Structure 1
């Protein structure tokens, strides 16, 4: 396995990981920011208030984008398995 091939595999793995994780992380961050703004405006300082809306938002993202995430991961895995003979050499 050449160095350029190993770097390409690493780059592809990082790209796939970011593509799959980004929607969940972004939604969680936006919901947390909105709840923090609401807490600052109303002076409610309950730490557990952010937990339930974030969990609900993440579950909704998984329901909406779960099939796309699974397809992306399956494609990457199939690519890795099809290139296994190049990796082992």
Structure 2
């Protein structure tokens, strides 16, 4: 196995991780920005007010995109397992 092959596998794995995290975190960031804007406009400084909507949106995002995320992870793993004989030899 050459260093180029290892770098390619690592690059693909890192891209998959970044993609999965972005799908989960982006809606939470958007909701956090909206809630923060509303808190600034109304001058309500309650920490728990911003936590609960972000938590609910994150959980809903995981529920909705969970099958797709798991499918992407399984595709990567299956591809890696099928290519092991070619990568070693």
For residues 30-84 of structure 1, give each alpha carbon's deviation from its aligned partner in whole angstroms, at most 9, with x where no partner exists: 1111111010000000111111101110111112111100100001111221223
Report the RMSD for the aligned CA atoms in angstroms.
1.4
Point out 4+ residue stretches in structure 1 off by more than 6 angstroms: none
Partner of 2:85: 85
Structure 2 residue runs without a partner (length 5+) = none
The alignment's TM-score, normalised by the length of structure 1, stands at 0.90
Partner of 2:11: 11
The alignment's TM-score, normalised by the length of structure 2, stands at 0.90
Structure 1 residue runs without a partner (length 5+) = none
1:16 is paired with a residue whose SS is: helix
Distance in 2, Cα, partners of 1:74 & 1:26: 23
Partner of 1:44: 44
Distance in 2, Cα, partners of 1:73 & 1:21: 12
